[in-house]
């Protein structure tokens, strides 16, 4: 392991001790389990999802989809229209959505929070290409993106093995104890927002991670600072589950009741191919207050991107150019004027 990265504490010893799990997550801001789920279930899901990823052209034709050999000429990321087109096909897979409801995840989360929980309907698959490290998910707190409640729990799980060089998740233990949403700034990468943990004296900026294996799972609350590590492999696609869970009765942000935005889908687009009906609109049977999405985090990031682009920052210019390309009808006139002023073709 990289000398600058420390190894997770494994909490399998406390799996049947709810009080200890609650103590650990309150103190450390994460819980990590080895093989919480039978690895065979993840390998089965991997074959189904990677087969679809190969069908949309992101894996080298003729290779075993289980190997995840990426066509690096097809590198896309969240925010690209080309990514949305392929992601939509993966997002329709019923078993991908069912994975967020596996009892192994639900049971351990209820133990660690001590209350009934509900999975957010917005399930997320992370599909990360190699040799595209500038688009790696930056350091952040989940609350700025998913909102609702500080008590929301994220579950990140690799769909297959995920050694460090493939780019798993890393966290800063105890960083949730800041008990506030920190200032986030513009960044390239999924979510488009980054936090500088070194600016805060109440955070010890030491990162923890592991060489993940199929069946492993990492859990943390909405204020824990975390990031994806870069995918440094030559040709391997990284595939993972990224789901969130809320206490029943807590606030849920309205956008978390919709499909993940990069899919550009509605539930009516997703459900027709499913074999069972039990998970369709399941959240409507819960009485959770729905709150509006707070747009201020994203608006601040976009304003910073404009100023950084004006100063010549290449990542900011790229982000603005991509926004014009992908959503020309919603781009602010000042962005178009700035890119024209900078001589950037869109």
Residues 49 and 15 in one domain: yes
Residues 150 and 111 in one domain: yes
322 & 232 share domain: no
Q: For the segment 70-124, what is each residue's pLDDT rounded down to a tens digit? A: 999 999 998 899 999 999 999 999 999 999 999 999 999 999 999 999 999 999 9
Q: What is the pLDDT of residues 230-253, one digit of tens each?
A: 999 999 999 999 999 999 999 999
282 plus 303 within the same structural domain: no
Give the sign of the dihedral formed by CA 74, CA 130, CA 70, CA 84.
Answer: negative
What CATH number is associated with residue 15? 2.60.120.620
Euclidean distance between CA atoms 168 and 158, whole angstroms: 8
Phi-psi region of 62 (alpha: psi -120 to 50; beta: other; left: phi over 0): left
- Do 120 and 257 fall into the same domain? yes
**Residue 288 and residue 278 share a domain:** yes
Same domain, 60 and 164: yes
What pLDDT, on the 0 to 100 scale, is given for residue 165?
97
pLDDT band at 333 (very low <50, low <70, confident <90, very high): confident
Whether residues 218 and 326 fall in one domain:
no
Q: How confident is the model at residue 2 (pLDDT cuts 50, 70, 90)?
A: low
> pLDDT at position 1, please?
59
Q: Is the pLDDT of residue 336 over 70?
A: yes
- Say what the pLDDT of residue 210 is: 98
Domain count, the chain: 2
pTM: 0.96
Yes or no: say if 252 and 290 are a contact pair by the CB < 8 Å rule: yes
Q: Residue 232's domain spans which residues?
A: 5-293
Residues 270 and 235 in one domain: yes
Is 198 in the same domain as 346?
A: no
Q: Does 11 share its domain with 107?
A: yes
Which residue is it, tokens 């100023």?
Answer: 307
b/e map 313-343, b = 16+ CB within 10 Å: bebbbbbbbbbbeeeeeebeeebeebbeeee
pLDDT reported for residue 323: 84
Based on the fold, state whether residues 142 and 202 are members of the same structural domain: yes
């Amino acid at each position: 392991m990289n000398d600058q990265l420390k190894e997770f504490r494994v909490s399998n010893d406390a799996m049947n001790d709810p009080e200890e799990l609650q103590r650990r997550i309150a103190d450390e801001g994460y819980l990590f389990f080895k093989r919480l789920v039978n690895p065979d279930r993840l390998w089965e899901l991997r074959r189904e999802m990677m087969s679809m990823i190969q069908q949309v052209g992101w894996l080298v034709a003729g290779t075993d989809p289980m190997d995840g050999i990426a066509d690096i000429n097809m590198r896309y990321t969240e925010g690209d229209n080309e990514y949305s087109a392929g992601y939509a096909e993966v997002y329709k897979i019923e078993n991908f959505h069912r994975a967020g409801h596996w009892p192994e995840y639900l049971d351990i989360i209820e133990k660690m929070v001590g209350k009934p929980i509900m999975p957010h309907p917005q399930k997320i698959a992370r599909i990360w290409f190699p040799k595209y490290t500038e688009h790696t998910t930056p350091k952040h707190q989940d609350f700025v993106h998913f909102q609702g409640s500080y008590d929301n729990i994220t579950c990140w799980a690799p769909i297959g093995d995920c050694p460090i060089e493939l780019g798993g998740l890393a966290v800063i233990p105890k960083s949730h104890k800041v008990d506030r949403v920190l200032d986030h700034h513009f960044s390239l990468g999924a979510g488009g927002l980054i936090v500088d943990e070194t600016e805060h004296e109440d955070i010890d900026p030491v990162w923890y991670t592991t060489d993940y294996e199929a069946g492993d799972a990492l859990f943390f609350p909405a204020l824990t600072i975390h990031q994806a590590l870069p995918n440094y492999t030559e040709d391997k696609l990284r595939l993972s589950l990224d789901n969130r869970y809320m206490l029943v009765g807590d606030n849920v942000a309205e956008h978390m009741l919709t499909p993940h935005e990069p899919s550009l889908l509605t539930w009516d687009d997703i459900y027709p191919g499913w074999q069972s009906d039990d998970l369709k609109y399941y959240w409507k049977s819960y009485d959770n207050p729905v709150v509006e999405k707070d747009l201020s985090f994203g608006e601040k990031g976009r304003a910073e991107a404009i100023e950084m682009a004006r100063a010549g920052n290449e990542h900011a210019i790229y982000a603005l150019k991509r926004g014009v390309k992908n959503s020309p009808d919603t781009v602010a006139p000042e962005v178009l004027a700035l890119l024209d002023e900078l001589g950037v073709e869109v």
